[in-house]
Structure 1
Amino acid sequence: MIIITGATGELGSRIVDRLLERVPPETVGVSVRDPARAQTLADRGVRVRAGDFTEPETLGHAFEGADRVLVISASIRGDAAVGANLAAVDAAVTAGAGRILYTSHQASAADSLFAPQAVHAATEQHLARLTVPTTALRNGFYANTLAFQLDGALTTGTVAAPADGPVSWTAHDDLAEAAAILLAAEHPGDGVTAPLTAAEALDLEQVAAELSALTGRTITRTVVDDEEWLASVIEHGMPAPAAEFTLGLYRAARRGEFDVVDPALGELLGRPPLPVAATLRRLLG
């Protein structure tokens, strides 16, 4: 049985859908915090069980009978995220899984300026120490993150943010399909994958140009000083820790951490990855 965690989330739900195009539903199980939210999957024949990374004692039942487990990285911050990921990985080992897959990131690094990348690096290191075969999916930066920019850009006509750099904005749909292909593959590959990214990396000035083309409006890019930006978003209600966390994204981008593109995703999909315009179009409705 193939077990997928976080199957009601934005990425996990897409992965399950794509996997069900490839394997029978009775061979798929999901581990979710709230089984009620996965009722539609249960109706399709998928095994649904409660499991929470922060309550490791729940994972044994959730992973029971697993041949493969896909651990979708915990959506929490700091050291707690590392602990949660490792708890899920270890539970998969204990459950007897023959392979563990993990949604890592193209910029995974212990010294990254964006905190989640250190979490991915620590989880990858743990995976590398296991005797069980593992695959870490080095996903490109989620293009859906651009939703954070849209309201302000459409209201003011400018993308106002700290200095940034090119980012390989990659569509959830592409990454979900890639994960499903690897989950269903006889030999998905060991260790970390090549970067699974879109075909180009764009900075926010280029994103603003894409928005202009899609909306028929002139959307410009305004660079805001880091401290000025922090003060502004906190004043408008963003908690200070969240603001500092987000600022790390811009700092990492301008250091070039996300300026990586690779043909691996397109080769795996057998088609070109979706461009950022496709995600922007969907976000715009």
Structure 2
Amino acid sequence: MIVITTPTGDIGSQVLGTLLRDANGEDLRVVVRDPGKLSASVRERVDVVVGSHGDQAVVDRAFTGADAVLWIVPPDPRAKSLEAAFSGFTEAAARAFTDHGVGHVVGVSALGRGTPAADRAGLVTASLAMDDLVASAGVAYRALANPSFMDNLLRQVDAIREKGVFTDTVDPGRTAPSAATRDIAAVAAGLLLDRSWTGVGSVPVLGPADLSANDMARIMSEVLGRPVRYARQSLDELGSTLSGHGLGDAFVHGMVDMMRAKDEGLDAGVPRTPDTATPTTFTQWCEEVLKPAVLA
């Protein structure tokens, strides 16, 4: 039995799709607040536990008989603290992993462990603490150590389409890894299906090449056939924008601290090797994902 949390989210839904195709008859269970967001064909093929996977009663039901779990903490922009949003949300699951003898857990986390900025990186610092909590439950655990997602650019489709601009806070010339969520989901599904691994560790997911914001602007321009430029936003501007959207102080400060740490090299602590690289290039992602969204 494999349990999938956030089965309607970006990564969770892609993992679920892969498992439905490749699990070879292994039982699948999902934890979801609103089962109506799952298609009828999916609901027919999985066991559905309704509720939040931050709730003890829900994870006790969900993890009974489970061999493996995909653990993803949903974003909580209005949490009182980052500790509450990550480790606090995970405490019930950590107890349930132990109580129900779950053997393997795959978590979606972040790069940065072992770097000088790791303890002042906001959301990433909280995610790494969550990894430690899961590891303490006695399960075999693999934390997917991810950089920024290519797919985050989909939040800026309107600006790219209408103004030919995208924004971020990083130095325009600094190169860093980025990964497509479909590659992250593929790595997660592979670990859930082949549970020969033991112990605790991280699995970096680095994409095929480091790129700068200027590199991304050039590639987007080439693929879209129209000029796209990068506009650097200050950290203060980022904080003001997030606060203006009604996000809580803890999340806003956590995002600002994370972006400051990324500009200080938070994502640069792991070398790219055949084992840490993933296949989807930024050009391919722009052609197959961004361009259709811009033209829609």
Q: TM class, shorter-chain normalised?
A: 0.7 to 0.9
Work out which structure has the larger RCO, using CA pairs closer than 8 Å and 6 or more positions apart in sequence: 2
Aligned-pair identity in percent equals 25
Q: Distance in 2 between matches of 1:63 and 1:16?
A: 16
Aligned-residue offset at 1:151: 2.6
Matches within 5 A, 1:79-228: 79-81=83-85, 82-108=87-113, 111-164=118-171, 165-228=174-237
Structure 1's 192 and 160: CA in aligned 2 closer, same or farther, altered over 3 A? same
Q: Distance in 1 between matches of 2:252 and 2:291?
A: 24
Q: Distance in 1 between matches of 2:235 and 2:31?
A: 40
Q: Structure 2 residue aligned with 1:262, among 262, 272, 282?
A: 272
Aligned-partner residue type, residue 14 of structure 2? R
CA deviation map 1:220-245 (0-9, x unaligned): 223344335555x369x533646555
Aligned length: 277
Q: Distance in 2 between matches of 1:208 and 1:238?
A: 26
Structure 1 window deviating more from structure 2 (82-91 vs 186-195): it is 186-195
Q: Distance in 2 between matches of 1:152 and 1:4?
A: 34
Say which SS state the counterpart of residue 70 (structure 1) adopts.
Answer: strand
Q: Distance in 2 between matches of 1:258 and 1:61?
A: 37
CA deviation map 1:230-270 (0-9, x unaligned): 55x369x533646555434431221111235523244xxxx
Structure 1's 220 and 186: CA in aligned 2 closer, same or farther, altered over 3 A? closer
Q: Compute the RMSD of aligned alpha carbons.
A: 2.6
Aligned-partner residue type, residue 86 of structure 1? E
Name the counterpart of 1:29. Answer: 29
Q: Distance in 2 between matches of 1:135 and 1:225?
A: 34
Contact 1:31 1:50 in 2 (8 A): yes
Contact 2:33 2:51 in 1 (8 A): yes
Q: Distance in 2 between matches of 1:23 and 1:224?
A: 44
Name the counterpart of 1:269. Answer: none
| Long gaps (5+) in structure 2 | none
Aligned-residue offset at 1:10: 0.9
Q: Distance in 2 between matches of 1:234 and 1:8?
A: 24
TM-score (norm 2): 0.82
Say which SS state the counterpart of residue 179 (structure 2) adopts.
Answer: coil
